[in-house]
Amino acid sequence: MILAQEAMSDSSRLVTLVLFGLMVAATIGITVWAGRNTRSATDFHSGGRGFSPLQNGLAIGSDYMSAASFLGIAGMIALFGYDGFLYSIGFLVAWLVALLLVAELLRNSGRYTMGDVLSYRMQQRPVRTAASVSTLVVSIFYLLAQMVGAGALIALLLGIQEGQTFLGMDAPTAKIVGIVVVGLLMTIYVAFGGMKGTTWVQIVKAVILMAGAALLTFLTLSLYGFNLGALMGDAANASQAAADGNAAGFLEPGLRYGVEVVGDPIQTMWNKLDLISLGLALVLGTAGLPHILIRFYTVPDSQSARKSVNWGIGLIGTFYVMTLVLGFGAAALVGHEAITAQDAAGNTAAPQLAQVVGERIGGDMAGAILLAIIASAAFAAILSTVAGLVIASSSSLAHDFYNSVLRKGEATGSEEVRVARFAAIGVGVVAIVLAIFAQNLNVAFLVSLAFAMAASANLPTLLLSLFWKRFNTRGALAGIYGGLISAVGLVFFSPVVSGSETALMPNADFAWFPLPNPALVSVPISLLCAVIGTLSSKEQDFEKFAMLQVRALTGAGAEKAADH
Amino acid sequence: MATDRPSKDPAPPPEHGAGDEPIKESAYVTMHSDPRFGELKRRLYRFVFPMSIAFMAWYLLYVMMSAFGRDVMGIDLFGNVNVALVFGAFQFISTFGIAVFYTMYANRNFDSRAARLRAELQNGTKAKVDEEAGR
């Protein structure tokens, strides 16, 4: 029998459920409070722009430290060692793109959405439509990843295994219930609390998650006398790599990404190129994720945007260092077999570690409590990230699509807020339904696809809008659609979808693109489309460009914080 | 109430306070060719573009080494610590370092100049400049 499964007693489940319930009650309370203070469009879309850099930094960290990155990276490190760490490095370095090139300029020149900046000097309707489409597609894929993960995780966190029942639910039912509960909660947060509610939920989550991870990191290290080297050695020796006679390989790149296939140099080369393609998507995707971009609007000015990114970098970096300890700790203390028995992708490595560490330190009861704490932190992580994605989608639908495209900019702020609330409900329902159907998709695949799409469709167009004088409507449209279509298209023709045993359609084979990660090709395609599109059109508006640049750099005419 | 203004104008007037008139389009265009704005832009670009190229190159070197330089990455430096781990740790350190360095640079070389030009645009005159610049 597997440790966590065996010891996931009814009392431990009860503690977990009580903590889940407390968290839901607290976040609903925040939402009700925030909803009372949300009147204007600025309140709804941007939380009134009154958040401090630290508060926004926590919320940025919260958007980013999703359950997929907390549980996923810890699990990847536990199973594959170094390659999980490599993944987290791409996620962290990516913030420099946001800090140096995007955050402040976007804060100064936009209002509510990514589309504000993209369409600034272009023809409003086509570019805002494109921005809205791309925001929705990227956010929905990311949302699906989180929700599919959430369903499985809640079942696992409550310790419901195949063949078991809890409160009358078997494992598949529990997964669907998990998806629906998460979907309803995120819709409530956004529809009622707007950006203010969402941001406070994220701040609370960031504190809970950081505290939970810090506690577990401290306890894990304490078992090794705070000797990280000894922990790593133990992890390597307990790993699957060691069983295969390559313990040192656990601490080196290559077990998960860029795998060397003996006797097949061509596949080996594709694998290595795929690693580079993944690295590119991770580092370029972040500053093109709509839910990250709109966070920069929630602070009073561009200096606060800069400071909040710095807080974010500090928090996220610290978090990934802790994840490294947790991953190695799980490899050493829980072990490969026990982790994969619970979840093949390793997503439950961190909660399992919590239980083992708790038991070693204070017996069964401590194990159950520590497990419940980490499970609740993971639950909080799921809830707040999905809320961030829903608000990004609903703001873009209301502001870019409804107001600017359908109403040609004539709608008032209160109309926009009303539409945004309904849009949040619509996005929530669509996400719940899609997630139920997408349950068998691989979570890591959905996340990396969202990053590749953001890196291809959004970032090149955003940077060209801010820095290239000649850039115009046709270029922006070509860049967004070219990037989006090439990223999705290449994945469709990759081994992820067909032509391999692990593909979505294992019986079909139309895979001619060898890399599961498309960014290496789709980012250059997007850039090329943007440049060719621009040069093939005579349109140019240097005056608007001058306005955009002066506004972006000086902050003159920037949106101010609302005062209540 | 500013709340209910239509949002057609992509550069909407700021919410008014005393002496906080909407800025004319022509004022932005004039400012764009002002040599002081040119200097502001140079100061920003001079930092962010070379730095972006540098950190991307540094990161891609790391990814390339992880893909193609595994012999080097696997060399043990001390105990269980190999080149790959130290290289990765350096990526963390350089990210923190660049963020701090950029913030210091912007505080010293950018913010007060931007504030001066902003105040000028917002007041429509060169008055009140010193007060705003002192922020």
CA-based torsion, A471, A472, A475, A478: positive or negative: positive
Chain B residues within 8 A of A232 when measuring between CB atoms? 80-81
- The yes-or-no verdict on residue B124 having pLDDT over 80 is no
How far apart, in whole angstroms, are the C-alpha atoms of residue A98 and residue A278? 18
> What is the SS3 assignment for A560?
coil
Q: By the 8 A CB rule, do A397 and A190 touch?
A: no
CA-based torsion, A292, A297, A301, A304: positive or negative: negative
- The stretch B62-91 carries a mean pLDDT of 92
Q: Where are the domains of chain B?
A: 25-109
How far apart, in whole angstroms, are the C-alpha atoms of residue A184 and residue A300? 31
Q: How confident is the model at residue B22, as a pLDDT?
A: 79
Mean pLDDT estimate for chain A: 90
- Neighbouring C-alpha atoms within 13 Å toward the C-beta of A366: 12
- The yes-or-no verdict on residue B51 having pLDDT over 50 is yes
Does B91 touch chain A if contact means CB atoms closer than 8 Å? yes
Give the CA distances from residue A185 to residues A180, A190, A453, B102, in Å, rounded to whole numbers and listed in that order: 9, 9, 27, 39
Torsion of CA B77, B83, B84, B86, to 10 degrees: 80
- The stretch A530-539 carries a mean pLDDT of 96
* d(CA B18, nearest CA chain A) in Å: 14
In this prediction, residue A163 has a pLDDT band, given cuts at 50, 70 and 90, of: low
Long-range contacts of A227-235 (CB under 8 A, 24+ apart): A228/A325, A229/B79, A229/B80, A229/B81, A231/A325, A231/A328, A231/A329, A231/A332, A232/A328, A232/B80, A232/B81, A233/B79, A233/B80, A234/A328, A234/A332, A235/A81, A235/A327, A235/A328, A235/A329, A235/A331, A235/A332
* d(CA A144, nearest CA chain B) in Å: 28
pTM, two decimal places? 0.91
Q: Which amino acid is at A344?
A: A
Helix (H) / strand (E) containing A151? helix A124-157
Q: Output the six-digit token pair for A159.
A: 């310790």
In this prediction, residue A7 has a pLDDT band, given cuts at 50, 70 and 90, of: very low
- The stretch A478-502 carries a mean pLDDT of 91
Using the 8-state DSSP alphabet, how is residue B77 labeled? E
Nearest to B99 among A96, A280, A559 (CB): A96
Instruction: Compute how many other C-beta atoms are within 10 angstroms of the C-beta atom of residue A280.
Output: 27
SS (HEC) of A400-451: HHHHHHHCCCCCCHHHHHHHHHHHHHHHHHHHHHHHHHCCCCCHHHHHHHHH
Length of chain A: 564
Chain B residues within 8 A of A235 when measuring between CB atoms? none
Instruction: Compute how many other C-beta atoms are within 10 angstroms of the C-beta atom of residue A540.
Output: 16
- The yes-or-no verdict on residue A200 having pLDDT over 90 is yes
Q: How confident is the model at residue A199, as a pLDDT?
A: 95
Q: Which amino acid is at A336?
A: H
Q: Where are the domains of chain A?
A: 3-554
Q: How confident is the model at residue A406, as a pLDDT?
A: 92
- Provide CB contacts within 8 A for A451, sequence distance 6+: A281, A282, A285, A286, A289, A519
Lowest pLDDT segment from A43-52, A381-390, A392-401, B117-126: B117-126
Does B74 touch chain A if contact means CB atoms closer than 8 Å? yes
Interface predicted TM-score (ipTM): 0.92
C-beta atoms of A554 and B85 within 8 A: no
* d(CA A135, nearest CA chain B) in Å: 19
Q: How confident is the model at residue A137, as a pLDDT?
A: 95
- Neighbouring C-alpha atoms within 13 Å toward the C-beta of A21: 6
How far apart, in whole angstroms, are the C-alpha atoms of residue A220 and residue A440? 33
Q: How confident is the model at residue B50, as a pLDDT?
A: 97
Chain B residues within 8 A of A551 when measuring between CB atoms? 11, 28
- The stretch A375-381 carries a mean pLDDT of 86
- Neighbouring C-alpha atoms within 13 Å toward the C-beta of A129: 12
Instruction: For domain A3-554, say whether CATH 1.20.1730.10 is its number.
Output: yes
In this prediction, residue A67 has a pLDDT band, given cuts at 50, 70 and 90, of: confident
- Provide CB contacts within 8 A for A354, sequence distance 6+: A216, A367, A370, A371, A373, A374, A375
Number of CB pairs < 8 Å for A and B?
Answer: 203
What is the distance, to the nearest Å, from the Cα of residue B47 to the centroid of all Cα atoms in its chain? 8
pLDDT digit string (tens) for A510-524?
989 999 999 999 999
